[in-house]
Chains A and B, each alone.
Chain A
């Protein structure tokens, strides 16, 4: 009888392990289906600063219409009413433009900062924000090295505004982001990140006199889905070149990894010290019981 029971548990254990493993194995082909990260290549040598993408973005995301050219004074930043802006810079090669929006990092700081998974890196590449999960703590804004998430400070039901690469409205339906679809100068190219890096390299290789030999976003912040190539050094078109090459979540990894060991070691140590410092511990215990 006893032996039977033991066998029963063995079978149960084996089944459990198989079930656990089986799930993981089944997940593998599904991940392949999800493809690789997608992104957009922005070629500032092609961009003429028409700001058409700003208008397309506002329309696609139900945001107020962008301000007219005459009202623009100096470089702008995205804010809670606009997810992207195109700025004009007077550079060593004349006027060059730069579009700013979420970089959709491979390992986003905002995503690892979010304690409710409201900031979410999709398997397709875009980083999206989910209203039903967000509690409005704004830690994503503190963490983002590109300063992208914007918060509606003057609302009782505030949202975080940021570029989602039109994930829910277009990408999931098989369409490409609004800005990339409508760019008249083909300054914006949508594709898988791998293809885009190849395309960027090809352009730099074919026209070495036009481009600076660097792809912004290839290594910045551990790699981003939005990539930039430019005729002038990136600093001249307002990109943050002090961004570290390693991913930002890496910075808190050491701390977070120490948590389980602290949780195991410290209580044991404390209990040990407590037992050791209690006077006549064994005597009093035995006399009580």
Chain B
């Protein structure tokens, strides 16, 4: 089948590629763009390991074709850290032991990123509900919930610091 040219902004960088229409976005990110941080766990849209943020929304990258990402802005786990500093959500996962094997973690981070952008101060039940579409087999979720709660506090603190400064 005819390949299709696409242009996608991934982690702030514009990427051009020519892909077969059937290439899943997850495979495109991992193997064409060489960003292996996005993980594939089930490839049928249940586990959430492949979640990435597309135009501000966490989505399953195994349920999108790369061609559909034409013109989109995508953030993967590789785009979270700023320089040498982990993103506050990553930092919180580290401090709270929100990961064990780390395979589900990039998807959890994408989900947490969207949640905290929409709801800066979620309750534990709201966190639970938000991550209920991400399977983790290691942690029992408790420390992931603690991590997202802690990340929310860090982000609120950062927000209050930045709003004090003139834009």
**A and B co-occur in one complex:** no
